[in-house]
Amino acid sequence: MKAAPAPAKDPARPVTRGERVRGHAVHLYTASGVVLAFIAAAEICAPRPDPRRVFAFLVAAVLVDATDGPLARMWDVKRTAPAINGRTIDDIVDFLTFTFLPLLLVWRMEWIPEPGWLWLAPALLASLFGFANEGAKDEAGGFFRGFPSYWNIAAFYAAFLSPWGNAAMFVILAVLTVSPVWFIYPNLAPRPWKMPLLAGAALWLVLLLAFLPRYPDDVPEWAVALSLVYPAIYTLASFYLKRRADSAARS
């Protein structure tokens, strides 16, 4: 027997105390990423920073970022905690953990030619404009416009490249950040793509975490190459799904 459908949300219904507490708890959960960012920053500023510890805290911030959106939608925080703008909190934390701290780590570890700021400034500026761009996230379609500021991932792989290779990578990604290319947002991907993309991302994250004990000097080259399979699939899937969505819109 089919279960009865859930009752529709009534926007006119008064918000209960429990709902209000739950809504603010989601905002607090989102904001916890700034604490993880602070701990990562403290490690970067240490006399001998350990990039493994930095990435461990940045991964924790990614997990918060990946789960707070579904919670916010499920518990309708725009209605239950409207005085707090969760998107603002999310953008601040994301800029710190996805952009500023990963690029600071690249500079601190000297994975970039001198002067490091010259090669990283385009990434910082492009990412900042990306976060400020009202059209950067198409939630209805499930896409990001431009490279979605995954600088934490670029920073992770920077340990395996030469300084000049990193300079080229960061400049190219900075250009892509402000370019009219689209990348799928896995949490909002259409069916049947959503679950494979999310499952692939989870397996890929497990693989990168497995690198950490030996990161960066003792990770086998074949393992690094294997870890690039999912980013390649994600990129190709993004282009395919965007092209399909545009074709459907024109028809």
For the chain, percent of residues with pLDDT exceeding 90: 56
For 164-223, the pLDDT digits (tens) are 999 999 999 999 998 888 998 887 788 888 899 999 999 999 999 999 999 999 999 999
Confidence tier at 11 by pLDDT (50, 70, 90):
low
Q: How many CB atoms are located within 10 Å of the residue 102 CB?
A: 26
Better-scored residue on pLDDT, 104 or 130: 104
Better-scored residue on pLDDT, 17 or 125: 125
pLDDT at residue 4, as a whole number: 39
Question: Cα 241 vs. chain centroid, distance in angstroms?
Answer: 19
For 115-145, the pLDDT digits (tens) are 989 999 999 999 999 888 877 777 677 888 8
pLDDT at residue 87, as a whole number: 84
Cα 178 to Cα 111: distance, rounded to the nearest angstrom: 24
Confidence tier at 1 by pLDDT (50, 70, 90):
very low
For residue 115, whether the previous peptide bond is cis, meaning omega lies within 30 degrees of 0, is yes
> In this structure, what DSSP letter does residue 212 have?
G
pLDDT for 76 beyond 50: yes
- 3-class state of residue 145 by DSSP: strand
Total-model pTM: 0.86
pLDDT for 7 beyond 90: no
Confidence tier at 5 by pLDDT (50, 70, 90):
very low
pLDDT at residue 2, as a whole number: 36
pLDDT at residue 131, as a whole number: 85
Report, as an integer, the average pLDDT of 146-166: 94
pLDDT for 58 beyond 50: yes
CB distance 200 to 234 below 8 Å: yes
Confidence tier at 225 by pLDDT (50, 70, 90):
very high
Report, as an integer, the average pLDDT of 32-46: 96
How far apart, in Å, do the first and last CA atoms of the chain sit?
A: 38
How many residues does this entry show for the chain?
251
Q: Compute CA distances 51 → 5, 78, 105, 113, 205, whole Å.
A: 48, 37, 8, 18, 16
> In this structure, what DSSP letter does residue 172 have?
H
pLDDT at residue 60, as a whole number: 94
Cα Rg for the chain, rounded, in angstroms?
20
pLDDT at residue 26, as a whole number: 85
The kind and range of the H/E element at 144 are strand 143-145
What is the b/e burial string over 211-237, where b = at least 16 CB atoms within 10 angstroms of the residue's CB? bbeebbeebeeeebeebeebeeebeeb
Q: Which strands, in side-by-side order, build the sheet including 182-184?
A: 137-138, 143-145, 182-184
